[in-house]
Amino acid sequence: MKIYSLERTQELPISLAQGWEFFSNPSNLKEITPAWLELKVTSNVPEKIYSGLFISYNVKPFLGITMSWVTEILDVKEPYFFVDEQKLGPYSFWRHQHIFKEISNAIEVRDIVHYSLPLGILGDIVHKAFIRNQLKQIFDFRHQVLSEKF
């Protein structure tokens, strides 16, 4: 199983507390997700994440086909980081680290995603042809929305 990675870093002119308040609220995920994914949170979610929280979504990442996605919040150290991992969804493996660091008059938001695809060599081909670019578009969108919001 080949594991791919994606890393993004962005500075936002807000406090660490403001950043944590926004990113730790699962309801805000829809705001920073492109509309074409049609993300819908299908579970009841609290206003703030915690270790052991399961969150269910529906997304349409491929050809308008609805897929279920379930993630678990594995680790939380407020206000510095949290980690979510896919338990059910389109990837064989998905772990997303969200890291927040205070810098002068701003915060650095760092996303580190490790993921793999099913179907062996076919999954590798689909990654090169489609998935890699799709994830880049999703995180480009997130960067743009966050820049405009903050």
pLDDT digits (tens, 9 = 90+) for 95-115: 999 999 999 999 999 999 999
Domain ranges of the chain: 4-149
Largest CA distance in the chain: 46
Q: How long is the chain?
A: 150
Strand partners, 94: 115
Name the CATH superfamily housing domain 4-149: START domain (3.30.530.20)
Residue 135, pLDDT score: 93
Report the alpha-carbon distance of residue 27 to residue 11 in Å, rounded. Answer: 22
pLDDT of residue 62: 74
Question: Over the stretch 119-131, which tens digit does the pLDDT of each residue have?
Answer: 888 778 778 878 8
Distances from the Cα of 148 to the Cα of 20, 31, 141, 144, angstroms = 17, 12, 11, 6
pLDDT of residue 99: 98
Mean pLDDT score of the chain? 94
